[in-house]
Amino acid sequence: MPIGNLYVIAGVSVVGGALFGFDISSMSAQLGEQSYNCYFNDGPKGPPFTQEPCSGPKPLTQGGIVASMAAGSWLGALISGILSDRLGRKKSIMIGAVIW
């Protein structure tokens, strides 16, 4: 394997990891939003209970919401290999782009 090709592969891997980290970190910006807290309101505060600001989801619910992003990535990684073997690389990339 030529050394230049190794740098390209490493660079693509670094960009992929950075984008995954950016995607996960963007969820932390949503956790404090009032619209998020009211949509997933499980607590004693909020419109169905009181007129105070919404208290947001319970910790178990919030953990499930955040963990579902990583679980979806894991499931997509498993399915993409099988899909590309059966349909081919180009068709599986197109299907992944439509689903995403």
Q: Does the pLDDT at position 46 exceed 60?
A: yes
Q: How confident is the model at residue 2 (pLDDT cuts 50, 70, 90)?
A: low
Do residues 56 and 47 touch, judged by C-beta distance below 8 A?
Answer: no
Would the pTM count as exceeding 0.75? no
User: For 61-77, what is the mean pLDDT?
Assistant: 87
Neighbours of 41 (CB within 10 A): 20
The gap from C-alpha 66 to its chain's centroid, in whole angstroms, comes to 8
Kindly state the percentage of the chain with pLDDT values over 70: 92
Examine the pLDDT at 94 and tell me if it is beyond 80: yes
SS3 assignment, position 20? helix
pLDDT of the residue at 86: 92
Centre a 10 Å sphere on the Cβ of residue 76 and count the other Cβ atoms it contains: 13
